[in-house]
Amino acid sequence: MFSKSLTQAVLLACLAISTVHAAVPQISIKGTKFFYSNGTQYYMKGIAYQLTQADPLIDTEQCQRDADLMGQLGANAIRVYHVDPAGDHTGCMTAFANAGIYLLIDLDTFETDIDPFRTSWNQTQFDAFAEVMDAFHTYDNTLGFFIGNEVIALNNQSLAAPYIKAAARDMKSYRDSKGYRKIPVGYSAADIAELRPMLQDYLACGTNTSEAIDFFGLNAYEWCGPNDMKTSGYNRLNTFAENLNVPIFFSETGCNTVRPRDFQDQGAILGPDMDEIWSGAIIYEWIEEANNYGLISYGPPVSATVVASDIEGGFSRRGTPTPVAPDFTNLQNAWATLHPKGVASSAYTPSVTPPACPSSTAGGWLVNGNVALPSLGQVLQATTTGASVTGTATGTATGSAASASSTTKGSANGGKEIAGMSAGLVAVMLGFMWFL
C-alpha cells in the first residue's frame, strides 16, 4: 500500500513539474528572428523588472500579483538584472509562464560583472555565471541570458569588448557541455553614438559562431515625446541593424524627459518601419522610483531616510501594484494596437551573414579587426598615462580617450551611473597577461 501510494505521489509530482515547465512553448532563434516552437515569430513587449537589488524572483506571491497586471498591460517578457541562483524560482517562473511572459536574465551581479576599469574574465566570474544558468535553464519561459549590461558605457571603453565576447563564448560552451537547451546568450549595450555600429558588429563578427553573441540588445532612449523615424534617429538605428546576422531588440527604452510618456516609439518598433529587422522592446521599468520611469507603484513614496520592511529609497518594493497614470494606460493602449505577424519559421531562410569585424577608428572604436579573444583568467591592463593602445594576434587596437556621457537612471537594477568625462581623462592601454 505504501509503495503504491509513493508511486502515485511521485507520478503526481512529476506531472506537476512537467506542467510548470510546459506552460508556454519554448522560443529559439533562427537567423535574425525569434520563433515559438510552433514556428510563429515572437516579438517582445517587455518590461524591466527589478524590485530591489536582490532577487525579485523568489517571492511567489508578489510575482503572481505583478504577472496578473502585466497580462492586462499586454506584456509578454520581462528583464531581470540580478538574481540569486540559490533561491527557489519555481513559483515566480510559473506565475509568469501562466501569464505568457518570458524572461531575459542577466548572468552577472554587482560583484561579478565585467568591469571596464578593471577588465577581466576569470574563474570566479565564470562560476557565478554558470550557477545562474544552472538555475534557470530548465524553465521553458527562459528566453535568454545577458552576459552583461552596459559594460562599455563610454566611447573609450571598447577595449572591454573582447572580454564580453570571451564570456559569451565560454558560457555558450558551458551550456552545450551540460546538454542544456540552447538558450541564447547575448549582450545589452549602452547607446553610444561613436561606437555604432562597431560594437554590435564586433560581438557578432567572425566565422566561428561559437565565439559570437546570439543576440544584441540596445538600451536606447532617443525617442522622446512626439517624434518620427528621422527626428528620433531611429532611421539610423535601422540602417545599422540591417546587416546584423543575429536578432536585435531594445533591451531598454522609454524616454521620460517628455511627460507623460506616450510610447509612440512602440508603433515604429513593432510596426512596418522596423518589425522586419527588430524583435521588439523592453520598457524601462515596472516599479516607480525616484527616477520616474515606473509603470506601477506599491504605495505612496515616503522620505528616503525611512527604514521599514519592503521600503528602499523611499519607495515600497512589495504590495499590490497600482498603475501609474497615464503612463500605464498609454503603453497598454499602444501595445493593444500592435500585432506584428512576422514570418513563419518554415517560410524563412536566413540570408544575412556575419558582419566584418570592424577596424579601429580615431576617437572611437579601439579594437582593430578580429582580435584573439582572451582566455579564462586574462586581465586587461589599463593606465592613465598612455595615449594609444596596441594589440596582438589577428588584429590591433589603437586610439585615444574621448568624452562621452550616459543617462543616469539610478535604480535598483544597478544601471551604470556615469557622468560625462572630459577628453583625455582616461587613455587605455591594451596588454593581456595571465591573471594571478
Side chain identity at 38, as an amino acid letter? N
Q: How far apart are CA 432 and CA 397, in angstroms?
A: 12
Helices 60-73, 327-336: inter-axial angle, 10-degree rounding: 60
The mean per-residue pLDDT over the stretch 87-94 comes to 98
Name the percent of the chain lying above pLDDT 90.
79
The label of the residue with cell 548572468 reads 107
Q: Which is it for the CA torsion 266, 270, 276, 280, positive or negative? A: positive
Helices 161-177, 123-136: inter-axial angle, 10-degree rounding: 50
Name the percent of the chain lying above pLDDT 70.
82
Report residue 267: phi and psi, to 5°: -65, -30
More confident residue, 7 or 260: 260
Task: Kindly compute the dihedral angle of the four CA atoms of residues 220, 221, 226, 231, in this order, to the nearest 10 degrees.
Answer: -60
Residue 257 has pLDDT above 50, yes or no: yes
Q: Which of 272, 349, 345 is nearest to 42 (CA)?
A: 345
Residue 225 has pLDDT above 80, yes or no: yes
Note the pLDDT of residue 412.
Answer: 63
* 225 φψ region: left (φ > 0), alpha (ψ -120 to 50), beta (else): left
Note the pLDDT of residue 6.
Answer: 43
Reported as type and span, the H/E element at residue 16 is helix 2-21
280: which 3 cell numbers?
Answer: 521588439
Least confidently predicted of 193-202, 233-242, 332-341, 415-424: 415-424
Residue pair 434/306 in contact by the 8 Å Cβ criterion? no
Note the pLDDT of residue 382.
Answer: 54
Q: What is the b/e burial string over 383-402, where b = at least 16 CB atoms within 10 angstroms of the residue's CB?
A: eeebeebebeeebbbbbbbb
Q: Which of 200, 201, 143, 147 is nearest to 174 (CA)?
A: 147
Least confidently predicted of 94-103, 122-131, 280-289, 420-429: 420-429
The mean per-residue pLDDT over the stretch 226-234 comes to 97
Task: Summarize pLDDT for 318-337 with one digit per residue, the tens.
Answer: 999 999 999 999 999 999 99
Residue 403 has pLDDT above 70, yes or no: no
The label of the residue with cell 546570439 reads 214
More confident residue, 333 or 5: 333
Note the pLDDT of residue 111.
Answer: 94
Note the pLDDT of residue 72.
Answer: 98
Note the pLDDT of residue 402.
Answer: 28
Q: Which is it for the CA torsion 116, 118, 124, 126, positive or negative? A: positive
Which 3 state secondary structure label does DSSP give 185? strand
Note the pLDDT of residue 308.
Answer: 87
Angle at the Cα of 143 from the Cα atoms of 137 and 147, rounded to 5 degrees: 80
Which 3 state secondary structure label does DSSP give 66? helix
Note the pLDDT of residue 53.
Answer: 87
Note the pLDDT of residue 205.
Answer: 98
Mean pLDDT (the chain) is 86
Task: Grade residue 409 by pLDDT with cuts at 50, 70 and 90.
Answer: low
Residue pair 400/363 in contact by the 8 Å Cβ criterion? yes
Residue 15 has pLDDT above 50, yes or no: no
Q: How far apart are CA 174 and CA 185, in angstroms?
A: 11
DSSP string, 121-188: E-HHHHHHHHHHHHHHTT-TTEEEEEEEESS--STT-GGGHHHHHHHHHHHHHHHHHTT-----EEEE
Task: Summarize pLDDT for 348-395 with one digit per residue, the tens.
Answer: 999 999 999 999 998 889 999 999 999 999 999 754 332 223 333 333
Active site residues: 150, 252
Report residue 297: phi and psi, to 5°: -135, 160
Task: Grade residue 410 by pLDDT with cuts at 50, 70 and 90.
Answer: low
- For residue 250, the cross-strand partners are 218, 281
Task: Grade residue 411 by pLDDT with cuts at 50, 70 and 90.
Answer: low
Residue pair 345/41 in contact by the 8 Å Cβ criterion? yes
Task: Summarize pLDDT for 54-69 with one digit per residue, the tens.
Answer: 899 999 999 999 999 9
Residue 233 has pLDDT above 90, yes or no: yes
Number of helices (H), then strands (E), in the chain: 10, 20
Q: Which of 340, 342, 377, 415 is nearest to 53 (CA)?
A: 415
Q: How far apart are CA 18 and CA 241, in angstroms?
A: 38
Q: How far apart are CA 202 and CA 180, in angstroms?
A: 26
Task: Summarize pLDDT for 128-180 with one digit per residue, the tens.
Answer: 999 999 999 999 999 999 999 999 999 999 999 999 999 999 999 999 999 99
The label of the residue with cell 527588430 reads 278
338: which 3 cell numbers?
Answer: 500592435
DSSP string, 199-237: HHHHHH-SS-GGGS-SEEEEE-----SS--HHHHTHHHH
